[in-house]
Homo-oligomer: A and B are copies of this chain.
Amino acid sequence: MEDLFIKAFKQADYHVNGHGPRHLQVLKDAIEDLVGETESDMYGKGRVIEDFQEKMAGVLGKEAAVFFPSGTMAQQIALRIWCDEKGLKTVAYHPLCHLEIHEEDGLKELHHIKPILLADENRVITLDDVVNIKEEVACILIELPQREIGGQLPDYRMLEEISEYCREKGILLHLDGARLFEVLPYYKKSAQEVCALFDSVYISVYKGIGGIAGAVLAGSVEFTEKSKVWKRRHGGDLISLYPYILSADYYFDQHVHKMDQYYEEAKELAELYNRCAGITTLPKVPVSNMFHVHMEARKEDMEAIFAQLYKETGIGLTGHVRENGDNGSRFEVSLGDLYSRVPKNRLKEVFAKLDEKMKSR
């Protein structure tokens, strides 16, 4: 069934999520108008990397920024630098933090850093969680939005209070801003304002930004210079990172000003899902361009329903359904350039049919 479902998804006329397929054309478009003589970066030096790093430092309001091949590498290194600074091997983050569940325990295996898990799996970190940490920690990592629970956010005031508390106590605060730009419309803040609450900031260049791969780590010059040493140790100081940097720069300019639109569209789309029988979104009202869709039907059943739906309507809602508990399933939605290309009448049709199919299961 999964194969048929994926096939039906791929063959749909329109897709609702994201910026489009992750294929070679993404790279071709990014470099098409650049001259062939554009010089490569060389082990972190050269205009192509230095210019982009300066641009990102400015955007994030930090002294300096460093381009990394991945966020996994950038964030482990950020926490390691803060641990070394404090002479402590303990940090704190959410139980569904990327470092905890997606990195094969790199933080523990390579850096021997112990994480304390804050809050619980179903909610974001609050000031109480931070105040009640029983051990001394070097650093706290906050992810905005909390991706694994649908992209939830703390109130901005709460964030400010956590930041103030950490400064007072000498705890360093790191931002997992993989989707930082995506939350700015809800917070009604600039990237600089949000980043000012944190000592170090990581952003991804291939989520809402739409690049190919890569990450930026920003902070003080002292911090970023140390991060370059660790980047080399990790094997991330490549002779050439320009394929990622040039595409990050290209798509940053294309997408960063459209985060308001994606946010509004996410709210609109979530409402359409929430009107369907047996379907709810998390959060109910999105606070960024993303949310999760929870269904009261098993993965195989939903894949069958979706495969049918895509064939009937030509609209692909998702290509990836996961189990959720014993009798449920879910998938993630991130809005990008594709949503606005879907004709509104066809979108209404697909959700009317989805509602019917959910009722007649």
Contact = CB atoms under 8 A, between A and B. Distances in A.
A114 B303 CA distance: 52
Contact of A70 (B36, B104, B230, B236): B236
B23 A36 contact: yes
A125 interface: no
Interface in A211-245: 212-214, 229-230, 232-244
Contacts of A234: 72-73, 106, 110, 234-236
A24 B36 contact: yes
Interface in A12-58: 21-28, 31, 34-40, 42
Contacts of A25: 36-37
Nearest to A29: B36
A280 to B, nearest CB: 28
Given A213-B241, A244-B243, A235 B74 contact: yes
A76 B235 contact: yes
A68 interface: yes
Report which residue of A73, A103, A206, A241 has the largest number of chain B beta carbons within 10 angstroms of its beta carbon.
A73
A105 interface: yes
Contact of A235 (B27, B68, B240): B68
A239 B207 CA distance: 11
A238 to B, nearest CB: 4
A229 B40 contact: no
Contact of A69 (B76, B103, B230, B235): B235
A3 interface: no
A246 interface: yes
A278 B294 CA distance: 77
A314 B25 CA distance: 39
B232 A72 contact: yes
Interface string A142-182: 00000000000000000000000000000000000000000
A40 B22 contact: yes
A233 B70 contact: no
A109 interface: yes
B28 A24 contact: no
A137 to B, nearest CB: 22
Given A71-B235, A76-B235, A212-B240, 16 more contacts: A21-B37, A22-B40, A22-B240, A23-B37, A24-B37, A24-B39, A72-B232, A103-B232, A103-B235, A105-B233, A106-B234, A106-B235, A110-B110, A213-B239, A234-B236, A236-B236
Interface of A: 21-28, 31, 34-40, 42, 68-74, 76, 103-106, 109-111, 206, 212-214, 229-230, 232-244, 246
